[in-house]
Structure 1
């Protein structure tokens, strides 16, 4: 996406988000949840950016 500033400058922005989460029946350390999210950010960037990636994968 591009944003146009009042001074006519254009800023291009991409967003890649990684999500790590716990199900009700699951136990993970806080560190593991953050590592899952960090790993998914790298996957989102590798897959072309502007994406949200989940770990574990959510089936919609």
Structure 2
């Protein structure tokens, strides 16, 4: 599975808890938005994360 900022942004926009987590990562770790999104991907999507299936479905839609 590959990382896509566009797909990840769609997933974040669909889930308030991911949006809140993104804000938390940015403030606590002092990361810029793009790096925070990538960190969120690795913690919630990659390696059988709780949002992996939704991410994959969005990725398929994005690729069509």
Q: TM-score, normalised by structure 2?
A: 0.31
Q: Where is the strand percentage greater, Structure 1 or Structure 2?
A: 1
Q: Where is the helix percentage greater, Structure 1 or Structure 2?
A: 2
Q: TM-score, normalised by structure 1?
A: 0.33
